[in-house]
Structure 1
Amino acid sequence: MTISLNAGSLSSAELEDKKELAPPTAAPLGGPMQTRSRRIFTSDDDRIISGTWECEPGESAWDFSDRGEVIHVLSGRMTCEEKNGTTTEVGPGTTAVFPIGWQGTWTIHETLRKVFVIYR
């Protein structure tokens, strides 16, 4: 079975799961951050989850102790700062890998939309 979705063409209203960013996903470091997402695949054992996710600007703390994530940014931009101080800028067309154990902050400068694969 092949699953296909043009995540870049969806309107924000077409993203099904709307909520504020909160643990265990990540902890906002300022005010509330609105997220919208749509899952397109979850493995039977929940070890792999894939979909598209959108988040409003703000700063948040991320802890990938129990999972890793691969993202491909469709729109928006953010700065990722690892716990050790290394920073990475990501924007449209960027693919980034956050391996199991990654800790740091994401500062979203413009509403960010990404395609993601979470793995455990």
Structure 2
Amino acid sequence: MSNLTFFKFDDLGTAREGGPLPERVLAGAAKFKNWDVDRSNDEKVRAGVWETTPGTYRSIKGGTWEFCYILSGLSEVTEDGKEPVRVRAGDSFVMRPEFTGIWHCIETTRKIWVVYNK
């Protein structure tokens, strides 16, 4: 087994489909697709690709640390008590543990994610 993993965007396999928890939906009917690309043996670190269709919902990270790199689309992320920040292709950011806020997808958005769970 190699210690190098590539994101093969033209062959991610079958996505897990879902959406925000019903109690977190604020507007619209966002649908998620998630492709797991790699994970550590203890599953504390995972990486993959995520996509959401337009909609608005609460984002609650709990104990998860997440690095995001936006591949396409347009969304607005608003941390509770802060101003909204628009994110689009080429933007990257970290959502630290205990982040709470709103994810508002304006145009279908796809991102690479890497998470660390305590």
Short-chain TM bin: 0.7 to 0.9
1:1-120 alignment, distance < 5 Å: 1-7=3-9, 9=10, 16-23=14-21, 27-120=24-117
Separation of aligned partners in 2, 1:31 and 1:88 = 20
1:48-87 per-position Cα deviation (integer Å, ceiling 9, x unaligned): 1100111101101011121011100000011111111322
Q: TM (normalized to structure 1)?
A: 0.85
Q: Please provide the CA RMSD for this pair.
A: 1.8
Contact 2:16–2:35 (CA under 8 A) maintained in structure 1: no
Separation of aligned partners in 1, 2:94 and 2:105 = 17
The runs of 5 or more residues in structure 1 that have no matched partner are: none
1:28, CA displacement in angstroms?
2.4
1:34, CA displacement in angstroms?
1.3
What SS does the aligned partner of 2:27 have? coil
1:62 partner amino acid = S
Percent of aligned pairs with the same residue? 22
The runs of 5 or more residues in structure 2 that have no matched partner are: none
User: How many residue pairs align between the two structures?
Assistant: 114
Contact 1:48–1:119 (CA under 8 A) maintained in structure 2: yes
1:105 partner amino acid = I
